[in-house]
Amino acid sequence: ITITGQGNNDAPGTAGQFGVQIWSQAVVESTGTAKVTITGTAGSEGPGIDVEDSAIVRSTGSGDLLLVGMGSTLDDDGHENYGILIQSTVTTTGSGNLTLRGIGGGKAGGDSDSGIRIGGYLTATATVSSTSSGNITLQGKAGVGSTNTFGIDVRPPDGGGSGGITSSGTGTVTLAADSIKLRTGATFNAGSNIVTLRPATTSDIATDDNKAIFRAEPGRKQIVTVTPANVQVGDIFTIKIDGQTA
């Protein structure tokens, strides 16, 4: 199953020029061995891929899920040009692996141009999950926005609800990015499975440097529930909590 979209190149700043938008309770699903590949490139504004409004992207068998999104680089204000924006559910309930690969857009002086954002603007559940043996891999490159922009940004939805990453079966979780932010109220639960946090490499998404920063919400001591049994931290990786390097 292959879905490929290119957003319109209307006047810069024109809203809604998504590469691929899956919404309004739509379902994209593999129930057997078929791989699902969704590739979206934003046009003059917006995210490469947007999953929202109770939509579901799901594999229930051995088929892998691969989402590749590139945010707009043409937006006049350089605002909210995510590579991938998850405002609903992306899940594997079988042995298929789940991979999100997002490249943020934007421009210098813009903001909120993360490679992957989980948790959107709606009152809903926004989750990336595995409930069986499928592994979860997120590979994110931050856009050029100067503020509120990360390789991977995990948060609860702005309007309320829950958001995060969960592996409740045996699947591992890997986050590869130049910067990773887990915000207050977000969920990161991998049970007893291995979680790997590492800088992105050229085999993931090329980054401008080789330093990853795991950032906690500033000014708070209890940030987010992270419950893996084994956390593997890659080379040259800085963990910052309340401005202090761990």
Q: Is the pTM of this model over 0.75?
A: yes
For the chain, the distance separating the N- and C-terminal CA atoms, rounded to the nearest angstrom, is 43
- pLDDT of amino acid 236: 45
Of the candidates 17, 85, 19, the residue with the CA atom closest to the CA atom of residue 57? 85
As a whole number, the mean pLDDT across the chain is 82
206 vs 116: which has the higher pLDDT: 116
pLDDT digits (tens, 9 = 90+) for 106-156: 988 889 999 999 998 877 889 999 999 999 999 999 998 878 899 999 988
Residues 26, 29: Cα–Cα separation, whole Å: 10
User: pLDDT per residue over 29-72, tens digit each?
Assistant: 999 999 999 999 999 899 999 999 999 999 999 999 999 999 99
- Placement of tokens 């409004």 in the chain: 53
Q: What is the mean pLDDT of residues 77-103?
A: 95
Paired tokens of 79:
């605002």
Q: Using 50, 70 and 90 to split pLDDT, how confident is the model at 244?
A: very low
pLDDT at 196: 84
